[in-house]
Structure 1
Amino acid sequence: MPKRKRRELQHLRQEPSRRRTYQLSHASPSEIYKPGFPMNVLGDPRWFALIGVVVVVIMIVTAVFTTRGTDRGNPDAVPSPTPAATATADASPTGSPTPAPKQFEKAEQVIDAAKNTYTATFKTSKGDFTVRLFADVAPNTVNSFVFLAKQGYFDNTTFHRVVSNFVIQGGDPTATGTGGPGYQTQDEPNELRNKKGTIAMAKVSGQTQFGSQFFINLKDNPSLDFDNPSANKFYPFGEVISGMDVVEAIGKVQVGQGDRPIEPVIIQTIQITETPK
């Protein structure tokens, strides 16, 4: 047989063989290439949908935790007891604010630190407690406080801000955290610590003057002391000498927005007692 003819027949015998091999093969196109992880998982609609649901849940949880407001009950979140920190338009109910609180041009001189010692007895809706005033250390601060107390400025006001395990704050007849007597008193720097039971004047963060608002420390608060590195320094001018259990009870009342007690804690009056040295 001629060589050419043999090649043609050989070619014809091979072609049907190749066709048979392809037609009889049970391999489908999807099995020719098998992708590895993670493409093999993402290629399955059920796995793809499950992964999508998990991703959405993670995004929602992350968004919730990153947008949560600061916990004002945490002392570390409220480093300074400033009046501005308590002012909110939609705060929880407090005691009825004084319709037209008294205003003064300045504090009249009403104490004599050289001759007398002074105490202030707070009569409140939770009970009474007494504060010894440090007239020798902070005469101007004590004079302003005593002057306002004798004028009845604090009568029927509230502790408008209570932060558990930090401070209780009062001295604002408007019950908003922004009220004042109409004048400012300059800081009197001292080296007294903001220990539990001490009282100091509240002021706007970073300022060196104050009005009528004061706070009582519910624990030792060194972050407010004279030697703390920030500009927020608060100088005690008195200390609770009796009735600390009442102060602590006030510090445990239930509060709402702006750290305001839901049930108002009323300061009925502050009585000043002066004793000759």
Structure 2
Amino acid sequence: MAKRRRRAQQHLGQESSRRRTSGSNTIPTDVYKPGFPMNLFSNIGLFAVIGSIAAVVMVAAAFLTTTGGNETADPLPTPTVTPTPDPNATPTPTPEVSPTPAVKQFTAPESVVDATKFKYEAVVKTSKGEFVIALDVDRAPETVNSFVFLAKQDYFDGITFHRIVSNFVIQSGDPLGTGAGGPGYTMDDEPNEVSNKRGTISMAKRAGATEFGSQWFINLKDNPSLDYTNPGDKFYPFGQVTSGLDVVDAIGRAGSAQGTPTEQVTITDIEIREVAR
């Protein structure tokens, strides 16, 4: 009995010893390690890195697919539709551009009057009507000759009354319409003792000048300040309105105190009439 108990105790002691050993905190030396590629799945850090790289590649692929590789997506060009020509269509005429007429210029007036045989009248036709001027070829032969020459050259046609001073004068003869135009030549004054009364015509000129070009004016009233007796500038009449003074007054009503017209009045033609003596 004693031997059996000791063997039992020894047996129990061995069993107990084995259990204590297997239950200890000692790390076993024969732990199982999986081979490639299964060991990759057991490496958590490496798996996380691979997952991050895959996500970046997927985002980049999606971006390139959207933009086509450009920073900004280019819109598709709109197709151009070329219309089929209609053989029956009437061609559209090309508008003609009217050239600006050149201002006529002369070196000197030709001799066109004969004071020994004729008297001369000028029929001035305007957008307001017409009036007639008896030209004084006896007192101002050179002035009248220049005026008649320009009229026969149609120099005054289309010219406006560029300066109209209310209750003073109406002025024309400038192809530029600015007060600075002229025919290309000048004429010397022909002094006389005719007064600038209502309806008389005189040549216009610059202040202090003793020569004139193509500009002229008609007095709307008596203007003694322009006469030969004036110590300053003198203007010598070379004609008188004999009919159509109401038209002259109508033109005068299109003026202003400063001389700027309130309405454009145009000369359409000046006809020269020769009256036998």
TM class, shorter-length? 0.5 to 0.7
Q: Give the deviation of 1:245 after TM superposition.
A: 0.3
SS of equivalent residue, structure 2 residue 121 = strand
- Deviation for aligned residue 1:254: 4.6
Once the two structures are superposed, what CA deviation does each residue of 1:206-235 show, in whole Å capped at 9, x if it has no partner? 1110000000000000000001121x0000
Inter-CA distance 222–106: structure 2 relative to 1 (3 Å threshold): same
Tell me the percent identity.
63
Whether 1:235 aligns to 2:236 is yes
C-alpha RMSD of matched pairs (Å):
1.2
Verify: 1:145 aligned to 2:147, yes or no.
yes
Q: Is 1:271 matched with 2:276?
A: no
Q: Partner amino acid for 1:264? A: Q
Whichever residue aligns with residue 139 of structure 2, its letter is V
- The structural deviation recorded for 1:255 is 4.3
Aligned residue runs from structure 1 range 190-205, under 5 A: 190-205=192-207
Distance 1:180 1:243 in 2: 27
Question: Counterpart of 2:204 in structure 1: which amino acid?
Answer: A
In the alignment, the residues of structure 2 paired with residue 216 and residue 116 of structure 1 have an alpha-carbon distance, to the nearest angstrom, of: 23
SS of equivalent to 2:201: strand
1-side partners of 2:119 and 2:255: how far apart? Answer: 36
Deviation of the 1:99 alpha carbon: 4.0
Indicate if the aligned counterparts of 1:114 and 1:136 stay in contact, CA closer than 8 A. no
Aligned equivalents of 2:200, 2:256: Cα separation in 1: 22
TM-score, reference length from structure 2: 0.63
SS state at 1:237 partner: strand
Structure of larger gyration radius: 2
Q: Secondary structure at the match of 1:142?
A: helix
Partner of 2:18: none
In the alignment, the residues of structure 2 paired with residue 108 and residue 114 of structure 1 have an alpha-carbon distance, to the nearest angstrom, of 17
**Contact 2:157 2:268 survives alignment (8 Å):** yes
Give the distance between the partners of 2:239 and 2:183, measured in 1 at CA: 20
Provide the C-alpha distance between the structure 1 equivalents of 2:137 and 2:240, rounded to a whole number of angstroms.
12
Map of 2:131 onto structure 1: 129
Provide, for residues 119-169 of structure 1, a one-character-per-residue CA deviation record: whole Å limited to 9, x for no partner.
Answer: 000000000000000000000000000000000000010000000110000
For residue 154 of structure 2, what is the amino acid of its counterpart? G
Q: Corresponding residue for 1:173?
A: 175
Unaligned runs of 5+ in 1: 1-97
Structure 2 SS opposite 1:271: strand
Aligned structure 1 segments of 4 or more residues deviating by more than 4 angstroms? none
Number of aligned positions between the proteins: 178
After TM superposition, give the deviation of residue 262 of structure 1 in Å. Answer: 2.9
Cα 1:187–1:101 change in 2 (3 A) is same
Contact 1:106–1:183, Cα closer than 8 Å, also in 2: yes
1:246 CA drift (Å)? 0.3
Structure 2 unpaired stretches of 5+: 1-99
The CA distance in 2 between the partners of 1:242 and 1:272, in whole Å, is 15
Q: Is the CA contact 2:199–2:218 (under 8 Å) kept in the aligned structure 1? A: yes
The amino acid across from 1:237 in the alignment is F
Q: Distance in 1 between matches of 2:159 and 2:245?
A: 20
- Aligned-pair CA distance for 1:114: 1.2
Q: How does 1:203-214 map to 2 (within 5 A)?
A: 203-214=205-216
